Chain A
Amino acid sequence: MEEILENSLQFILSRTEKKSDTTNYSRENTIASSESLKKIQWALDNILDAALIKNSLLAEVNALREAADQHFGPQPEAVESDLHRLMHELPVNMVEATVQLGLRLVTNKRLQANWYKDRLIILINAEKSGSTLHEIVIRDIQLHILKQEANFGIQRGLRYGPTEPAYGTFHGLIPLFAPDGGILRGPFLGHAGNIRFVKELGAKVTFLCRHPADRLVARGCMTGDFFGLTTSKEDVDSGEVFSKLINEHALPQSLSTELHWMVDWLEGLGHSERFHIMRYEDMMKDAKAHFEKLHKFITNAPMSDETWLAIQSNMSRTSGGDLQPGNREERHYPKGYSGNIGVWRDYLSKDQITAYNDCVKRFVDYHPHSDILFTVYPDIYIE
């Protein structure tokens, strides 16, 4: 099974690794053959037949890919560029188109049967709140308890999962990224369209947040150039980056955006039984209780000792360990590790604390549903 998974993932992910000029499309590679077409037809039929019977269609999709490969011959690879990072659905070659056709048909059939109800988890998170660990834990729970294979699906040049094509928006092709179910993680925005989309998708939603003051510090310590925020280690040393995150509301990483994000989701879905709120602080305080609740939400069953041991093992590998995502060279912690609770005390100046509180107050005064923030973080104002 591992070999099939490996082969399939290699095929799907290989689009991200190679560069070529897709405009030089070779028509000589196409060898017309009724037999090979029949194999494609057979593979498509097979996928559709198995859609509601089998938990994983990896083997069927792999067979479709092989049939398409055989029929269409060598194909141009996807292009990596800023443009294609935004428009990663373009271009597409014949084999990809065939595989996507199969995936579209099958995800549609499963959607209509509400198949994803207990098989797809959406992890909505802000950066620097332990989301990589949570994704790993949820995948492990799905794999070992629900017997779901790891995600597979279309991946074309993405660096940050299925949210990249629409920047925080659930889009119409998102089930193609996890046709067998699994977990989709992203800093999805809580706007009305997304909330409606989640309901139609029928997936369970886990919402992971962290105290905005601590998260702001952790995000500031992550130097580099991301979405309009360019910071250096000197900016962290001087504290300038924290001022930016507090005062520059247009930045997607800003305090203002985060407050909005939290309230929008809590207001929009907080009342739903299929929505599970998780706080980073609760994980740090009592990890077993935290993950027990998550386990119950996903499986409707209590967590076993064995699962808890596996989670503990992953937890020890995240803080500065080999499971830390991103480029650790660009992290800078001149006043201690930013994963600690209350780390804002070590990093924010008096003026910044005042500015933070002012920003929170302005938001609270403005937003008619801001009260909901205090139910999750009664200590949202800092002293």
Chain B
Amino acid sequence: MGALEKILHLGSRKNVGQQMLWQGDMVSEFEPLISRIEQDAPYKLSIFPDIMELKNKAEKVFGSVAVCSEDSLHSNMIDLPVTCAEAIVQLGLRRAVNTRLMSGWYQDKLFFLINSEKSSSTLHEIVIRIMLKDTLGLTENFGIQRGLTYGPTEIGTEASIHGLIHMYAPDGGVLRSPFLPYHGNYRRIKILKNKVILLTRHPADRMVARVCMNNDSTGVKLFNEKLAAGTAFNEMFELNINSSLRYDLEWMSGWLFTLKHTGLLYQVRYEDMLKDPHKHFNGIHKFLTGQEITQSISDQISDKMSRTKSGGDLQPGATKARSYPKGYSGKVGVWRDYFNEKDIETYNKIVKSFLEYDPKAEGLLDIYPDLKLDE
């Protein structure tokens, strides 16, 4: 069980009402402990041991709880319901996080990794955690995790830097997600002054990689049929879904434009990581810590990189169900192997109309001069 799970292993939500067994004056012991955590928070690097103490105390009062069943949670409302023990732990976290926020504690301790899928974001999250631990002395993230399948963004429907986001990393760390570049999110980043790493990949290659990402044999079969019929990528062009080409273009352009001159943004490309990993990760390290990367960290990155490639043990998701009928989708320029003429034509048409529609989108061409595909 990892640190995230240790902090809150949850009870079944089905009989939550029956779990509330108040045991006399023990409850009143929470308040001094919570007050202590709150007051000490700005002066400590980690409140993990204090929160564990609070959790243990809460479980003594309310009873230990079994591991939560995913089925009993709401996929979009993960904060409902809550057990008494959780409520007490969250109360302690809220108060500690608040004092840290008020003192600007998170400015150089909490970082956002904003990414789209299939751009090696898992590797980047792992590497950034190593950098923060080895160079800044920050321990691994811990915080509330209630049956999440995709990290702390789920509460805001995968898009929002919401008001409770610090609860997922009360000691700082890295929060990864495909956050949307809408005004609420960048206003929040500017006020909180958190540094942002924007990880991008060429939209055509990313589309291919995303479509190759099937979760089961049925998906693979369907994908192969569509690929043979020349329709495998139609949905990614047309639908208003999180992974579509339109979404990707708007997402990249929006972040580049809004955070460009804030000093808070560091934009990195998947393609540059493959070309020169040391230069790529050294840039990230300098941005996060102000220092050159150490040999020890470089060695750890080399190890992790080899393990996140196809078939590696650090590949996330249902990797056994992935199918690459025309070669591994992690390759730069893989669209050449998968797109047919019509796909290229449709892709270019959408890119062209987007560049005409959105005047600020020109920034995209600075990063991807080859955004339009050779026909």
Contact = CB atoms under 8 A, between A and B. Distances in A.
Nearest to A253: B183
Interface string B58-74: 00000000000000001
Contacts of A287: none
Contacts of B187: 86, 167, 227-228
B359 A91 contact: no
B163 A86 contact: yes
B164 A89 contact: yes
A108 B80 contact: yes
Interface string A82-104: 11001111111010011011001
Contacts of A189: 180, 182
A41 B237 CA distance: 54
Interface stretch (B89-97, B115-123, B262-270, B367-375): B89-97
Interface in B72-103: 74-82, 84, 87-88, 90-91, 94-95, 97-99, 101-102
Given A197-B76, A200-B76, A362-B356, A192 B240 contact: yes
A366 B357 contact: yes
18 contacts: A25-B38, A30-B31, A87-B98, A91-B99, A94-B91, A101-B87, A107-B81, A165-B162, A167-B160, A167-B185, A169-B184, A171-B162, A193-B242, A194-B157, A200-B75, A366-B354, A366-B358, A368-B237
Give the residue among A38, A83, A256 with the most B Cβ atoms within 10 A.
A83
B17 interface: yes
Contacts of A191: 157, 159, 180
Contact of A25 (B13, B35, B158, B357): B35
Given A108-B80, A227-B187, A252-B183, A92 B258 contact: no
A171 B25 contact: no
Contacts of B180: 189, 191
Give the residue among B31, B242, B354 with the most A Cβ atoms within 10 A.
B31
B172 to A, nearest CB: 16
Contacts of B39: 23, 25
B188 interface: yes
A371 interface: no
Contact of B82 (A30, A86, A101, A193): A101
A174 B155 CA distance: 10
Contacts of A168: 182, 184
A105 B101 contact: no
Contacts of A83: 101-102, 191-192
B92 to A, nearest CB: 10
B152 to A, nearest CB: 11
Contacts of B76: 170, 172, 193, 196-197, 200-201
B134 interface: no
Contacts of A170: 76, 157
Give the residue among B80, B99, B182, B237 with the most A Cβ atoms within 10 A.
B80
Given A91-B38, A97-B91, A111-B74, 8 more contacts: A41-B20, A83-B102, A97-B87, A172-B155, A173-B80, A193-B156, A228-B183, A249-B360
A365 interface: yes
- Measured as residues with beta carbon below 8 angstroms from the partner, the interface class of chain A is 35 or more
A169 B160 contact: yes
Contacts of B98: 22, 87, 90-91
B240 A193 contact: no
A249 to B, nearest CB: 6
Nearest to B27: A37
A366 B184 contact: no
Interface string B240-253: 11100010000000
Given A41-B22, A172-B155, A200-B76, A82 B16 contact: no
B133 to A, nearest CB: 26
Contacts of A256: 357-358
A339 interface: no
B149 interface: no
B97 A90 contact: yes
* A-B complex: 3 closest residue pairs judged by Cβ atoms: A167-B184, A193-B157, A108-B81
A139 B156 CA distance: 26
B28 interface: yes
Nearest to A167: B184
A196 B154 CA distance: 11
Given A250-B257, A368-B238, A196 B97 contact: no
B49 interface: no
Contacts of A194: 157
Interface in B20-39: 20, 22, 24-25, 27-28, 31-32, 34-35, 38-39
Contacts of B238: 368
A267 interface: yes
A48 interface: yes
Nearest to A110: B80
Given A37-B27, A91-B98, A169-B184, A105 B82 contact: yes
Contacts of A166: 156, 160, 162-163, 184
A72 B32 CA distance: 12
Contacts of A33: 25
Contact of B156 (A45, A171, A367): A171
A92 B91 contact: yes
Contacts of B16: 105, 108
Contact of A175 (B17, B80, B158, B237): B80
B353 interface: yes
Contact of B80 (A167, A172, A267): A172
Interface string B177-199: 00010111101100110000000
